[in-house]
Structure 1
Amino acid sequence: MYKNVTEKAADRVVEANHRVLISAVQMYRFVNDLKDPSDIEDLDEYVEGGIENLGPKGDEYKAEYEIEERPDGSLVLVSVAPSGTKFEYEITEKQ
């Protein structure tokens, strides 16, 4: 039961971080004449403490944060929680 509660808490951390990254995308666009970020590192300066310090903490609960280019040319911010739960935000529509 403890592991289940801990995993759900880790998922909520990733979900909250995903919202922070969505805000970072919007700030990046504002500062860069509406240009879209193409790599997660583009958002680093817009996230307090930087991307690498986003949680959840601990090797057992590693999360993944990235910007993916889809086959149709669209860009999507993808955050994957330790449980495998994915949170997605479409940055650009297909070209």
Structure 2
Amino acid sequence: ADEVCGDGQDLARSAGRRLMMTLNLSLSLVMTPLFRPHLLALSIRLEQAGMTPVFEITEREDIRAFPQAAVFRQLAAGGLRFAVDDFGTGHAGPA
């Protein structure tokens, strides 16, 4: 994380703007209570380094099978941004 934050800070400074950093996570990992504080801390570090982190939930698990939408609301209230990584589902990529 230190190297990514340092490199990202250099790139953001060179670009003269904030950069978006996307990170893929499994839904199971996000649903692990002990992991959530680390996720929030990483988000803060990336923000401080001049990046806008977006955590992509990988398609390996069916999001509809997890009724814990409250977890995502709680993390989003802490400033986290989420996206669904749909690569390989026929909805992503060039037309």
- TM-score, normalised by the number of residues in structure 2: 0.26
- TM-score, normalised by the number of residues in structure 1: 0.26
Higher RCO (CA 8 Å, separation ≥ 6 residues) = 2
